[in-house]
Amino acid sequence: MSSLPKAAPAQRFDAAESRRRCLKYRRRILDVSQRVSALHIAPAFSCLEMTDVIYHALKRPADAFVMSKGHGCVSQYVILEDLGVMPSAEIERYCTPQGVLGAHPDLGTPGIEASTGSLGHGLGIGVGMAYAEKLHRNGLQVYVVLSDGELQEGSTWEAAQMAANLGLANLLLFVDLNDFGGLERISEHHPAVFPVLEKWRSFGWEAAEVNGHDAAAIHAAVGARKGGKPFVLVGKTVKGRGVSYMEHVPIWHYRSPNKEEYAKALAELKEIGS
Amino acid sequence: MRNLFANVFYEEAKKDERLCIVVADISPAGSMEKLRKEYPERFVNTGVAEQIMIGMCAGMAMRGLRPFAYTIATFTLFRPYEFVRDDLCYQGLPVTIVGVGGGVTYSTLGGTHHAMEDVAIACAMPGMSVIAPCDPEEAKAATQYLVKQDKGPVYLRLGKAGEPVLGSAASKPFEFGKLRMLKEGNDACILGYGPILKMAMQAAEGKSVAVASVHTLKPLDKDGIAKILSRYPRVVVVEEMVPHGGLGNMVKALAFECGARCKITALSLKHEFVHVYGSHEQLLAAHGLSAAAIQKALDG
């Protein structure tokens, strides 16, 4: 096997710009929420900073990205729109027969590299992608964003084992640890999901943990990895981060805000530093 | 059949470096062992983990490789069903799933190892093609087709090793999507797929009874079957699969659609788990399948 670069070439990263972008993305997501009844806003808000850092500071065009937590894809859509990959007209036609975008990402729509939605699939696909690129010896990397609910899927751990067995140092995983499934708080009702970091290490991965809303810390943690193994960054996040009445409230896993709630959310949104 | 697949795959893999095999803890027999030794990176064993076997194949196909997933038939489709459906079919990826020991081939291993409803399940998935060769020669030709195709996922149902060649008198070679006449005849026609056609050939021996290998179950050769339904007064369907969702159902539906007036009898595995252990033939007999049963259907 050829030696792979331990990280993508350093890209310029400005945390202040990331904060400004994420504020813009949250506003845009709320804007979209006024046209559909269910949007998965809260899970999109929790992984927004990690997805922003991947797209703006880590992923090179030929690298791969898989949003394994498919219900977080509206975060991906608005970033792809900002990057000029996703036509704004498609965002406007979100979840309508006139458009191509749904509430889970589909392979073949602009910028989307894997169809997800059913949980526990994305990491396995990412392992296959990373293995293919390892055989191609071209140094390409694969980025995967996983929900903490997917830590409950057996298939995630099948994939975790194979990533380590195959020595996939070109696989970078981001776990959105917002501590909520669709129904309840994970640490309270499913405490055996924890400790998370130690689980990944015992499966042969290099692992680090940061505040998942601190873009500078996310970027720094990826840059500081030793390499040689698959890498997981566990981002401790808040489901619904940025809108007070959505934070830690399970109903916002699915619900879209009404007119008054929308106005309140817009009014209180601000840049998130950490 | 299994060895012919391995031989062809090995020879083609030497020429096409995109070809990879992903197995789930199944011993690599014959040429598969050569492939493993000579191209270790292109032989991946996921261990006893079938979901990642399919998921990995999806990711590999998305990044330019042509992976074949390979294990015992039950574990290629049943255990990782939703991965086959979402990762391969929904995304339309060119991945071949090779199920060895289709039907009750593993006759001493019990119901956990019997792929009794695999063809029905594979045919039900949108975007999936299904091939079940009847003998080593068809298995060879099907593999030669599969290593080149890039249209989408295919389920290849194989038997085991040591099946006889049934098509030595066939006038045409294997062609994907077209049934193949193994034996000509005028009085009746037996339609089927897989190694059980050996019993069909035995039942038809010395009689003016035709035997057709419907090796491609999906897409089904509707025109070819319709011609048989209009030509023969008596048609017997035989398959090593449960009666629900198989060739018997498909032929009867087609007969209704095209107004066929022939008499059709469909023989299949019973729609139940049979707690019998023994030889493959003994298991088939426990399900009511034998050359004598086919003869009886021809006479009835």
Q: Are residues B115 and B241 in the same domain?
A: no
> Whose CA is closest to A170, among A213, A249, A230?
A230
| Mean pLDDT, residues A249-254 | 87
Q: Is the pLDDT of residue B250 over 80?
A: yes
Q: Are residues B117 and B259 in the same domain?
A: no
| Mean pLDDT, residues A243-253 | 91
pLDDT at res. A1 = 37
pLDDT at res. A35 = 83
Residue B54 to residue B128: CA distance in whole angstroms: 14
Pairwise pLDDT comparison (B65 vs A12), residue with the higher score? B65
Question: Hey, what are A216's tokens?
Answer: 């500078």
Tell me whether A125 touches chain B (CB under 8 Å).
Answer: yes
Residue B105 to residue B114: CA distance in whole angstroms: 7
Q: Are residues B122 and B194 in the same domain?
A: no
Whether residues A131 and B44 touch (CB distance < 8 A) is answered with: yes
Percent residues over pLDDT 70 in chain A: 95
> Whose CA is closest to B180, among B207, B160, B161, B200?
B200
> Whose CA is closest to B126, among B99, B153, B96?
B153
Q: pTM for this structure?
A: 0.96
- Cβ count near B275 (within 10 Å): 8
> Whose CA is closest to A132, among B56, B16, B98?
B56
Spell out the residues 6+ positions from residue A264 whose beta carbon is closer than 8 angstroms to its own: A245, A257
Q: Are residues B129 and B227 in the same domain?
A: no
Tell me whether B52 touches chain A (CB under 8 Å).
Answer: yes
Of B126, B157, B188, the residue that ends a domain is B157
Q: What's the gap in Å between the CA of B62 and the closest CA on chain A?
A: 7
Q: Which residues of B touch A127 (CB under 8 A)?
A: 52, 55-56, 59
Strands B96-100, B154-157: parallel, antiparallel or unpaired by DSSP?
Answer: parallel
> Whose CA is closest to B266, among B291, B227, B235, B230?
B235
Phi, psi of A176 (to 5 degrees): -90, 90
- Compute chain A's Rg from CA coordinates: 18
pLDDT at res. A29 = 95
Q: What is the ipTM of this complex?
A: 0.96
Question: Hey, what are A190's tokens?
Answer: 């499913």
CATH architecture of structural domain A15-268:
3-Layer(aba) Sandwich (3.40)
Whether residues B63 and A114 touch (CB distance < 8 A) is answered with: no
| Mean pLDDT, residues A196-219 | 98
- Domain of B28, CATH number, reads 3.40.50.970
Range of the domain at B184: 180-299
Q: What's the gap in Å between the CA of B91 and the closest CA on chain A?
A: 7
Q: Are residues B153 and B184 in the same domain?
A: no
| Mean pLDDT, residues A148-154 | 98
Q: Are residues B139 and B231 in the same domain?
A: no
Q: Is the pLDDT of residue A5 over 70?
A: no
Whether residues A158 and B91 touch (CB distance < 8 A) is answered with: no
- Domain of B251, CATH number, reads 3.40.50.920
Whether residues A121 and B87 touch (CB distance < 8 A) is answered with: yes
Q: Which residues of A touch B86 (CB under 8 A)?
A: 115, 117-118, 121
Whether residues B60 and A130 touch (CB distance < 8 A) is answered with: no
pLDDT category at A274 given cuts 50, 70, 90 is low
pLDDT at res. B70 = 97
Q: Residue B244: what residue type? A: H
Whether residue B10 lies inside any domain: the answer is yes
CA angle centred on A153, ends A150 and A159, rounded to 5°: 90
Tell me whether A133 touches chain B (CB under 8 Å).
Answer: yes
Name the residue of chain A whose CA is nearest to B85's CA. Answer: A118
Condensed to tens digits (0 to 9), the pLDDT of residues B171-201 reads 899 999 999 999 999 999 999 999 999 999 9
Q: Which residues of A touch B82 (CB under 8 A)?
A: 118
Q: Are residues B209 and B141 in the same domain?
A: no
Q: Are residues B102 and B227 in the same domain?
A: no
Q: Are residues B91 and B52 in the same domain?
A: yes
> Whose CA is closest to B110, among B296, B285, B283?
B283
- Cβ count near B89 (within 10 Å): 18
| Mean pLDDT, residues A165-176 | 98
Q: Which residues of A touch B63 (CB under 8 A)?
A: 64, 128-129, 132-133, 136
Interface of A with B in 164-223 (CB under 8 A): 165-166
**Mutate which of A4, A125, A170 to test chain B, going by most B C-beta atoms within 10 A?**
A125
pLDDT category at A9 given cuts 50, 70, 90 is very low
Q: CB of A265 within 8 A of CB of A243?
A: yes
Q: Are residues B125 and B186 in the same domain?
A: no
Q: Are residues B120 and B223 in the same domain?
A: no
Whether residues B56 and A128 touch (CB distance < 8 A) is answered with: yes
Condensed to tens digits (0 to 9), the pLDDT of residues A38-96 reads 788 999 999 999 999 999 999 999 999 999 999 999 999 999 999 999 999 999 999 99
Condensed to tens digits (0 to 9), the pLDDT of residues B34-70 reads 999 999 999 999 999 999 999 999 999 999 999 999 9
Condensed to tens digits (0 to 9), the pLDDT of residues B252-282 reads 999 999 999 999 999 999 999 999 999 999 9
Q: Which residues of B touch A132 (CB under 8 A)?
A: 59-60, 62-65
Q: Are residues B111 and B257 in the same domain?
A: no
Q: Out of B44, B52, B82, whose CB is closest to A159?
A: B52
Q: Out of B20, B52, B60, whose CB is closest to A155?
A: B52
Q: Is the pLDDT of residue A250 over 90?
A: no
pLDDT at res. B29 = 76
Q: Which residues of B touch A125 (CB under 8 A)?
A: 55-56, 58-59, 62, 87
Condensed to tens digits (0 to 9), the pLDDT of residues B77-95 reads 999 999 999 999 999 999 9
Q: Which residues of A touch B59 (CB under 8 A)?
A: 114, 124-132, 142
Q: Is the pLDDT of residue A2 over 90?
A: no
Condensed to tens digits (0 to 9), the pLDDT of residues B196-232 reads 999 999 999 999 999 999 999 999 999 999 999 999 9
pLDDT at res. A11 = 60
